[in-house]
Amino acid sequence: MNAERKTERQRRDAETQRFAEKIMTTVIHGEGLGKRYRRGVRVDPGLRHLLDRFMRDPLAVLRRPSYETFWALKDVSLEVKEGEVLGLIGRNGAGKTTLLKVLSRITRPTEGWAQIRGSVRSLLEVGTGFHPELTGRENTFLSGAILGMSKREIARKFDEIVAFAEIDEFIDTPVKHYSSGMYVRLAFAVAAHLEPEILLVDEVLAVGDIAFQKKCLGKMDDVARRGRTIIFVSHNVNAVASLCSSAMVLADGKVVFCSNNVQEALRLYLSSPNSAHTVDLSNHPGRVGDHAILQRVTIYDESGEPSSAILPGSNVTIDIKMQPRDLISMPRVSIGVNSTRGERLFAIGTHIGGNHIPNMEGPSTVRVRFRMPPLVAGQYRLDIGFYDRAGMSLDAVHGAAYMDVLKDDYISMVEEHSHYLGHIMVPSAWTSTQDTGERGSELMSARDSSVQGNNA
């Protein structure tokens, strides 16, 4: 009996310990979060307009206005651990920014609750948390004070913040005179360098130029490595793949997927309806020629699902719907894959390492299947061409579709050094051995004897 009680007590103690560990490591916990808004709410027009309305229709003033409501968030639950980098992805209007505003206490949820442990810094839109009349220097110290940092701590980081933002000459200028780029550079520099325990970042980085975006991504990667917790909202799938340890997909204000499998989350996001995996080419602005034979292109990933998110080294299938006006004997079809800078990386075609297709007349679908080379993660452009058997162009569309090649497991990409990577990632195995003095002497002796033999 005593043994059973001891076992039961140990079990309860173990459960209590697991619960305590969960509470200690969970820094963001939300249950059933929902936010409802009223659509078409009128702004108070003032007393004069109210009197005019009363004169036209006295009863209208007494009627209760009817408003249409919609849920920007509905029944969203999440749990973010300390040191976790959560990627929040979804289409425009999915509820990503609303969720960040609820978590950062900018807006109250209509239903549900959220608990956050630790200091929070949110960067949701340009200028959030800055006073326009204060200078960049004053706003930096104000933001640090809001985060609970001492003046000495902020001063220690101040030069590093200014150098990162690259606004040395304007640090003592009121921020209301800053351009949007200067504003966001300083806002991000303050948010990242003052190192709050939790950092909430929206798609605000899109305001900066490409160099600054890479700089910010590198800094966030550095912040994440130091064990800080980040919720990162972005439409840049490769930034999410590189930075995030988990991902949540939102659609119409609801969670449709949440997991540590970031690649699966990105695949689901990019295979959703109205995604870029299917493109109508009938009136495409990149058409070169007078006849719209190429009608539609659809990209499928290795699992056979429509998706423009492709893993390097995986199988890709592309369907091209066509509508030639006349009988085309032994037509040629080609697809060129280019970088966003317009560099041709490789091409495939019926006459380029492929096989001939039979005669074509009327509506038809051409399907090609190939293995994606180990390209560096990024976005790539597809140019599609259609020719007769002699190689005369009948229709061509430049930039017909785009593919996002995702970060694979063996690729460890550092954004700030990405310009050194080229376009192809070649897996390689490296080893290191410590050479001893004795071994070095043997090699030298062998080399010397070889030289003497050659001289002889």
Query: The domain spanning residue 321 has which CATH number?
Result: 2.70.50.60
pLDDT tens sequence across 65-80: 666 788 889 999 999 9
Residue 343 sits in the same domain as residue 233? no
Of 46-55, 262-271, 325-334, 369-378, the range with the lowest mean pLDDT is: 46-55
Domain membership of residue 430 (yes or no) is no
In a 10 Å sphere around its CB, with 0-12 CB exposed, 13-18 middle and 19+ buried, how is residue 95 labelled? buried
> Which of the 8 DSSP states describes residue 451?
H
Domain membership of residue 164 (yes or no) is yes
Task: State the pTM of this model.
Answer: 0.61
Domain membership of residue 434 (yes or no) is no
- 235 three-state secondary structure: coil
| Greatest alpha-carbon span in the chain | 119
Residue 366 sits in the same domain as residue 308? yes
Domain membership of residue 425 (yes or no) is no
Residue 236 sits in the same domain as residue 119? yes
Examine the fold and report which residue of 228, 243, 270 is the final residue of a domain before the chain moves on.
270
Nearest partner of 25 among 110, 99, 82, 106, judged by Cα: 82
pLDDT tens sequence across 309-353: 888 888 999 999 999 988 989 999 999 999 877 889 999 999 998
Share of the chain above pLDDT 90, in %: 25
Average pLDDT over residues 127-132: 73
Domain membership of residue 16 (yes or no) is no
Domain membership of residue 417 (yes or no) is no
Residue 242 sits in the same domain as residue 283? no
pLDDT tens sequence across 365-424: 999 999 999 888 778 999 999 999 888 999 999 999 988 888 765 444 444 445 556 788
Residue 202 sits in the same domain as residue 264? yes
Residues in the chain: 456
> Which of the 8 DSSP states describes residue 168?
G
Query: The domain spanning residue 159 has which CATH number?
Result: 3.40.50.300
Give how far Cα 315 sits from Cα of 335, 371, 372, Å.
15, 4, 6
> Which of the 8 DSSP states describes residue 43?
P
Residue 292 sits in the same domain as residue 207? no
Structural domains of the chain, count: 2
Nearest partner of 193 among 226, 236, 232, judged by Cα: 226
Examine the fold and report which residue of 236, 270, 304 is the final residue of a domain before the chain moves on.
270
Assign residue 370 a region (left: φ > 0; alpha: ψ between -120 and 50; beta: otherwise).
beta
Q: Domain range spanning residue 284?
A: 278-405
Across all residues in the chain, what is the average pLDDT?
80
Domain membership of residue 21 (yes or no) is no
Contact 301, 309 (CB under 8 A): yes
Domain membership of residue 437 (yes or no) is no
Over 199-214, what HEC string results?
EEECHHHHHCCHHHHH
Residue 142 sits in the same domain as residue 186? yes
